[in-house]
Amino acid sequence: MQLEEQALGFPCQGEWLTAILSPAAQPARRGVLIVVGGPQYRAGSHRQFTLLARALAAQGVPAMRFDYRGMGDSSGAARDFEEVDADLRAAIDQFMAACPGLQEVVLWGLCDAASAAMFYARQDDRVCGMVLLNPWARSTEGLAKATLKHYYRDRLLQPELWRKIFSGRFRFGAALRSFAGLLGAAYARRPAAATTDDAAGHAVEQTGSPTPDAPGLHQRMLEGLQGFSGKVLFIFSGADLTAQEFLDMVKASRQWQGLLAAPRVTRQTLAPADHTFSRREWRDQVAGWTSDWVRSW
């Protein structure tokens, strides 16, 4: 039996945050705090976070999702993923106060929320684990290389591309300009927006977090994970450039490779999934992996 969800409000540095608690039927010593990534609120894209929290609670794992300051129903100025330490601490305080018996918390984050979790976790002894999905490690060079390596390779194998070419609908000029821009960004180290061609052959800029090329981002993520002694579950989408960019960064660094090979780290990959695991079967698989892992230790 799953208990009724609860709406919660709590303070954070003079502002007021809003959260939804999905309690388990029985008291639990470990819960999952869902950290919101990108410019979205606690429900998540295609209600992903809402459904995840309910799935976890049904398996006996209490979960809470909340809005940062300046997002959703929380007050204050909007902030990016590198400025939410206070929000996370306040949310953990509220989560533990609302769930008697809760002793430790797993942070669950997708994209830049995964990066935010890496920054924060080592600062708080109550955090025992992290579930990190497609972590945000964005740089102009990294995105350009990932696009060249993964997008263009897969694109050449798509029948749709060849139908466009043979029908005369493919815009070679735009595609060549896009390809040249990516080469420049990837290897000449000059600032350039990474682009691909859309279904009509038009150049389309790849967008994401509002803070690309954040100074020291990769190093801060590395230091955060190195300084955290708890368990970590990485979940990667096979059809996502953000995930591929992060994995390319790992492959280029012995330190990152050593971290991800540690016994405390578990990896899962859902090969056909997109960035947000938007299909029901993908979302259910992520919820299952999360629940099984949280309850396994």
- Report the Cα–Cα distance between both ends of the chain, in Å, rounded: 23
Note if the pTM is more than 0.85.
no
Q: What is the CATH architecture of 6-138+214-294?
A: 3-Layer(aba) Sandwich (3.40)
The owner of tokens 């259910």 is 284
pLDDT tens digits, one per residue of 91-137: 999 999 999 999 999 999 999 999 999 999 999 999 999 999 999 98
CATH 3.40.50.1820 positions along the chain are 6-138+214-294
CA 73 to CA 103: how far, in whole Å?
A: 27
Question: Per-10-residue mean pLDDT for the chain, 297 residues long?
Answer: 89 98 96 91 94 97 97 94 96 97 98 97 98 87 56 58 57 56 54 40 39 69 97 96 93 95 98 96 98 97
User: What is the model's pLDDT at position 138?
Assistant: 76
